[in-house]
């Protein structure tokens, strides 16, 4: 049975970009289950894809950063997404040219620190009561298991757990 908390695993740089360029408003793809593999096999969690598991994402990102895996598919995907986001934000004028260049330079850089995982821990009830918790459509989910989104998560609405650097 899902608990009162939602979990969202992200690279640290996602939190930085949201804080620095989006007025602190975070986009969070989240799950009711931190580690679906520990849930009952008859629960909805059992149908959640590993690529959508906060625990799975957190540990995979940490491993890829600790070992400086330059072929990490997870980090490659994030790099692409952040570059696409930077272009979209430049086009809608929510960031300027200098900010666009800084985002692109960061994600292209050799920094591993920026990719270390962080976990957003989000009390569910206030978000759900406000109608801001969105169920992701099946065609946009990785598998049959439930996935959720919060598009406008404010800094005071969640706690953040960071992984220690080596």
Partner 1 sequence: MISSLADLDRVTAAGILARAALSIFDAANPAATPVLSNEQALRAKVIREALSSYGISDHSNDWRERLSDALDAESDALLGPVDDKSALERQALKGDLPSDLYKVIIAPQIAECYGRKFPEEERNIELTVHSPDMEQHYGPPMKPGEPHLISLFAKTFANQFPGRSYLMLVAGERNGLALTVFQAWRLYPEDINLVGAENPLEMLRRFAFAFGHDVTVGDQTGRFIFQVDIPGGRVPVKGVIPPVPGKTRREINVTIFSQKTNNGTRAVLVVGIDLDKYREALHKHGW
Question: Which residues contact partner 1 (rule: CB under 8 A)?
Answer: 20, 27, 80-81, 83-85, 87-92, 98, 100-102, 104-106, 108-114, 134, 136-137, 139-140, 149, 151, 164-166
- Comparing CB distances to partner 1, the nearer of 89 and 158 is 89
| Residue placing its CB nearer to partner 1 in the complex, 102 or 128 | 102
Neighbours of 97 (CB within 10 A): 8
Q: Looking at beta carbons only, is 27 or 35 nearer to partner 1? A: 27
Q: Closest approach of Cβ 47 to partner 1, in Å?
A: 18
CA-nearest of 31, 25, 12, 29 to 157 is 25
Sign of CA dihedral 72, 64, 156, 29: positive
Nearest distance in Å: CB 38, partner 1 = 26
Strand order in the sheet with 26-30: 26-30, 148-153, 134-135
Q: Shortest distance, CB of residue 98 to partner 1, whole angstroms? A: 7
Nearer to partner 1, 37 or 94 (CB): 94
Least distance between partner 1 and beta carbon 16 (Å): 8
Tokens standing for residue 128: 């759900």
**What separation in angstroms does the CA of 154 have from each of 15, 25, 67, 159?**
11, 5, 32, 11
């Amino acid at each position: 049975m899902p608990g009162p908390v939602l979990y969202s695993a992200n690279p640290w740089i996602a939190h930085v970009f949201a804080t620095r360029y989006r007025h602190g408003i975070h986009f969070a793809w989240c799950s009711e289950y931190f580690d679906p593999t520990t849930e009952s096999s008859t629960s909805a969690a059992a149908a959640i894809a590993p690529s959508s598991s906060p625990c799975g994402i957190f540990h995979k990102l940490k491993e890829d950063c600790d070992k400086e895996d330059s072929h990490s598919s997870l980090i490659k995907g994030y790099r692409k997404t952040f570059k696409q986001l930077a272009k979209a934000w430049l086009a809608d004028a929510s960031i300027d040219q200098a900010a666009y260049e800084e985002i692109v330079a960061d994600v292209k850089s050799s920094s591993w620190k920026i990719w270390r995982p962080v976990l957003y821990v989000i009390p569910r009830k206030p978000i759900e009561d406000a109608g801001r918790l969105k169920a992701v459509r099946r065609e946009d989910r990785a598998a049959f298991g439930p996935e959720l989104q919060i598009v406008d998560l404010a800094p005071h609405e969640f706690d953040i757990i960071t992984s220690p650097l080596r």
